[in-house]
Copies of this chain bind each other. A is one copy, B any other.
Amino acid sequence: MEDLYPSRNNDQFEVLQRKDPVIHGDVRTRKDCPLSDQQLSYYEENGFIMLENFFNKEEVKKLQNEIFNLRDENQETESPKIIREPESDGIRSIFDFHKSNSCLDELTRTPELINIVNHLLGDDVYIHQSRVNYKPGFTGKEFYWHSDFETWHVEDGMPRMRGLSVSIALSDNYSFNGPLMLVPGSHHYYISCAGETPEDHFKQSLKRQELGVPDHDHMKWLVDGGGIEVPTGKAGSLIIFESNTMHGSNSNITPYDRNNLFLVYNSVHNRLVQPFSGGKPRPDFIANRREEEIKV
């Protein structure tokens, strides 16, 4: 398959134009689109949208219990699905939770959410990846700038930009507790990165990503163009962001945790092929290859 988004092929960083639509298929002509025309335009232009209070307080409480139980159960687990902080044993992320937890599995099938995702991707979808990120108060470390798509393309073999992430806030997001920062409009550009992908790169990159991230000059160029947006809001809010939207977050020395659930949906017509790096595919718990499509 032709590589429309080459990256990590040489020692150059460069900007390529996006070759895929942001909203797939014309949702404006379709009935029952759960987002307004204004919301759709915002997403198309900026590459993300926040939906406040998507889940109510009871639902949030239930999800919080699930992720804290998940963390407690896994304190001693030696599974590659459990990612620890670079400088401690603290749990930073847990991958693939929907396969072992029926409540969180059900969450991935929330009809109102799937309806939105179907409309944006113009297709039936499946879960490419599920993940909890724990950013504890006082000690939470940064996640450096990255486009998810660059990694999914190079290391997982996702052919086109036809996926998205749903970040579900399970803590209140303030401007100061290391919230998600996004670069509006960055999804229109693909930053092809320098470097070569070593084998089993994910074992290091999930702790601290240093490859497949933009260089300073291109990052500054993106931010000079689009600025930085920091959506803040109560637990239960959603941020939906396009697979190629540049994002990251700072550290968190405040006493307020920042915990988020990530659900990554991909179009069933955009299933993974061989990684474009030429290396072996990453494990299924990071990038599903056999996941069933979600019907609601």
Secondary structure call for the A interface: loop
A37 to B152, CA, bound (A): 58
Contact A145 B216 (CB under 8 A): no
Which residues from B are CB-within-8-Å of A219? 138, 255
A220 within 8 A of B: yes
A27 within 8 A of B: no
* Bitwise interface map of A from 219 to 248 toward B, beta carbon under 8 Å scored 1, else 0: 110011000101000000000000000001
Query: Which residues of A91-121 are within 8 A (CB) of B?
Result: none
* Contacts A175-B175, A176-B175 given; does A251 touch B254 at CB 8 Å: no
Contact of A138 among B175, B181, B216, B251 (CB under 8 A): B216
Query: Which residues of A170-199 are within 8 A (CB) of B?
Result: 174-176, 178, 181
A142 to B249, CA, bound (A): 13
A174 to B176, CA, bound (A): 11
Q: How many copies does the complex hold?
A: 2
Contact B220 A178 (CB under 8 A): no
Question: Which of A145, A249, A254: most chain B CB closer than 10 A?
Answer: A254
Nearest CB of chain B from residue A220's CB, rounded to whole Å: 4
A125 to B137, CA, bound (A): 38
A250 to B139, CA, bound (A): 10
Contact of A176 among B228, B254, B256 (CB under 8 A): B228
A137 to B254, CA, bound (A): 21
A175 to B181, CA, bound (A): 11
Which residues from B are CB-within-8-Å of A249? 253
Which residues from B are CB-within-8-Å of A248? 253
Seen from chain A, the residues whose Cβ lies within 8 Å of a Cβ on chain B are: 137-138, 142, 144-145, 174-176, 178, 181, 216, 219-220, 223-224, 228, 230, 248-256
